[in-house]
Structure 1
Amino acid sequence: MQINRLFEIIYILLNKNITTAKELAERFEVSVRTIYRDIDTLSSAGIPIYASQGKGGGISLMDSFVLNKSILSDKEQNEILFALQSLTVTQNPETDRVLSKISSLFNKSNMNWIEVDLSPWGSDKNNISQFTVLKDAILNRQIIEFSYFNAFGEKSSRKVEPVKLLFKIKVWYLQGFCLSKNEFRTFKISRMSDIRVTQHFFTTRSPEAQPEIQNVKSAQKQIDLQLQIAPQGAYRVFDEFNEKDITRNEDGSFTIVTALPEGEWLFHYILSFGTDIEVLAPQNIREIIQSKLDEMIGKYKKTIT
């Protein structure tokens, strides 16, 4: 509490030429004697703060003082401010207030170098609200309830102690302890609906009780693939594959040699490139893709009555 009060006192003095011990005592609801002890503490720390007697007297700082001259280097100040700005992702109402105060203490402005938004581009208000609800539940340690569709389309009701939001392979996940299954689980946020924050709070489980939660795809068998992507698909090539796996061909196309997790999702992923992609190897994947394309064509050959 005292440290917070000391920073508040410096902030007040930086934004006000002079104040009195009585005014500070009333503001912080402490005694005048406590304020003078705080002034002594700040002076001992090298802060050029002084008190003057008589009419018009009071407590003030030297006019040239900014915090960087007595405690932190310019680099250290920037690191603190950058860290605070990145924390705006939490949308904690205290963050902006603290950032404003620290910026003033360091006599720095125009530090708005980063903005972190948990929601994807094009998100509607519901998507953004969903992330805010989950974030608040994690920070407040409140149990949440929601409906969840698994990979087979089966719906279930879940009650979870939320621990962490995770962004993996362009997808957002929620990690937490599922009370319904009595174990740690990872949930794909896009499959969650009817999210409700309960009034039941939980105690964070010990690190020893939290196994490393792996993304489902990382535990699956990997398939070695050789892909060719047309020039018009270049906008996805460098977004979705490692540069070391990409070879640019003379005709502008790209050859990619990579490994992707096995499963039905792989075929949907390949087909999402439309006519811009061709699987060069292995042969069995080519045949499965051809079979799925034949099935799709068959559906469109049917006459709708």
Structure 2
Amino acid sequence: MKIDRLLEMVYVLFEKKTVTAKELSNYFEVSQRTIYRDLETLSAAGIPIYTSKGKGGGIRLLDNYVMKKSMVSEKDQLEIISSLQGMESLNVPGVEPVLKKLGVLFQRNDSKWIDVDFSHWGSGEDEKEKFKKLKNAIIHKKRIQFDYYSTNGEKSERVIEPLQLIFKGQAWYIYGFCMVRDDYRMFRVTRMKNLNVIAESFERCLVEESQIYQTETGIPITMVLKIDPPMAFRVYDEFEHGKIVKNEDGSFTVTKTLPENDWLYGYILSFGASAQVLQPMHLQSTIRGILEKSLMKYI
């Protein structure tokens, strides 16, 4: 398309400073007459293009010309570049070359303001590669095969049609249709091992968000915890500000709604002796029972 060629032409002029009509003709695989018509179009749009003859002559832009003078405000430049940098961090296909060209056109070398690493602290390259595989499988609608370890450490082989990567409850999950269970399931990414993207494609689409969370193991409950002062850093990291009450003795009373399952029990116990379940009473009894069983191992 002509508009694509015009944008690319300005980019080439910024990058190479001076070029000849023949070089542009060869680059774009069009006639020199077409190149001159394009240059007239750019000049009419306010792009200051100059030509000179003789040795060292050619086509160039006015020195120190910046794209913003005729097309894009500085505020818009920052918004565009920042948005593209965010997309690049998420590995969205095709963003890198666009970002590079606009950076040259706007003459901006701003530092990259965002970086997204889906893997957890201390993980190796294998964990990072896992997220790349999941992303490609979702985008290209390819089934994945992996070994999955339950909360009890039981191993099972799964083949699923991955539909969405979800961050929930301080952990990453993959949501999809499990071919083994013949139903929709959520799988915690850290429990997936030996992940492979297989050649089989699928047509299944993502269901309503409300249906996604109905498939998660455990019925959501609202719990109230009392957490001691030494855990303040976790309180402010892991709970909504509006759900935190600071008590006179420096402790915190927090409220949070989560599915009741083994992960929830482990989460509460991760606070050690610094957390106490206040409500609901059945959850208090469950945690007490787990602690009593643990204590029996040391008698």
What TM-score results when the alignment is normalised by the length of structure 2? 0.85
Q: Which runs of 4+ in 1 moved over 6 A?
A: none
Counterpart contact for 1:184–1:211, Cα < 8 Å: no
Give the 5 Å matches for 1:38-49. Answer: 38-49=38-49
| Segment drifting more, 252-261 vs 180-189 | 180-189
Mapped partners of 1:223, 1:197: distance in 2: 36
Worse-matched range after superposition: 220-229 or 162-171: 220-229
Q: Assess if the C-alpha contact under 8 Å between 1:227 and 1:279 holds in 2.
A: yes
Q: Does 1:121 align with 2:118?
A: no
* Aligned match of 2:198: 198
**Which runs of 5 or more structure 1 residues have no equivalent in the other structure?**
none
For 1:146 and 1:294, locate their aligned partners in 2 and report how far apart those are by CA, in whole Å.
35
The aligned counterpart of 1:243 is 241
- Rate the CA distance shift 1:217–1:144 in 2: closer, same or farther, 3 A: closer
**8 Å CA contact 1:175, 1:187 repeated in 2:** yes
> Comparing 47-56 with 215-224, which one deviates more in the overlay?
215-224
Amino acid at match of 1:289: I
Aligned-pair CA distance for 1:272:
1.3
Q: Is the 8 A contact 2:228 2:275 kept in 1?
A: yes
Identity in percent:
44
Aligned equivalents of 1:180 and 1:51: distance in 2?
A: 68
CA–CA separation in structure 2 for the residues paired with 1:49 and 1:98: 23
Other-structure match for 1:23: 23
8 Å CA contact 1:279, 1:286 repeated in 2: yes
Confirm or deny that 1:282 pairs with 2:277: no
> How many equivalent residue pairs?
298
Q: Deviations over 1:44-88 (max 9, x none)?
A: 433222444555432211223211111111111111101111122
Secondary structure in 2 matching 1:193: strand
Aligned partners of 1:201, 1:283: CA distance in 2, in Å? Answer: 48
- Secondary structure of 1:300's aligned partner: coil
For residues 76 and 178 of structure 1, what CA distance do their matches in structure 2 show?
44
Contact 1:43 1:49 in 2 (8 A): yes
Q: Is it true that 1:5 corresponds to 2:2 in the alignment?
A: no
Which moved further from structure 2: 130-139 or 149-158? 149-158
8 A Cα contact 1:164 1:175, kept in partner: yes
The CA deviation string for residues 128-181 of structure 1, in whole angstroms up to 9 with x for no partner, is 111122223334443322233455655443333433322122111223444555
CA contact (8 A) 2:184 2:215 kept: no
Structure-2 separation of matches of 1:185 and 1:30: 54
Residue by residue, what CA displacement relative to the aligned partner does 1:198-248 show, whole Å, maximum 9, x if unpaired? Answer: 234455x56xx7333523587854434332111111111111211122111
Q: What secondary structure, in the 3-state scheme, does the structure 2 residue paired with 1:78 have?
A: helix
RMSD: 2.9
- Is the contact made by 1:144 and 1:195 (CA closer than 8 Å) also made in structure 2? yes
Quick check: 1:88–1:116 contact (8 Å CA) kept in 2?
Answer: no
User: What residue number does 1:14 align with?
Assistant: 14
The 2-side partners of 1:162 and 1:258 are apart by 29
TM-score w.r.t. structure 1 length?
A: 0.84
Structure 1 138/49 Cα, relative in aligned 2: closer, same or farther at 3 Å?
Answer: farther
Within a 5 Å distance, the mapping from 1:140-179 to structure 2 comes to 140-150=140-150, 155-179=155-179
Provide closer, same or farther for how the CA distance between residues 151 and 63 of structure 1 changes in structure 2, counting only shifts above 3 A: same
Aligned residue identity for 2:263: W
How many Å apart are 1:107 and its aligned residue? Answer: 1.5
Distance 1:144 1:267 in 2: 30
Query: Does the Cα contact within 8 Å between 2:50 and 2:61 map onto a contact in 1?
Result: yes
Residues 18-69 of structure 1 show CA distances to partners (whole Å, capped at 9, x for unaligned) of 1112111222333323323432332343322244455543221122321111
SS in 1 for 2:297: helix
Assess if the C-alpha contact under 8 Å between 2:166 and 2:175 holds in 1: yes
Is residue 2:57 matched to residue 1:57? yes
* Structure 2 counterpart SS, 1:214: helix
Distance 1:257 1:94 in 2: 43
Q: Match of 1:223?
A: 221
Does structure 1 residue 103 correspond to structure 2 residue 103? yes
Do 1:233 and 1:276's aligned partners in 2 also have CA atoms closer than 8 Å?
Answer: yes
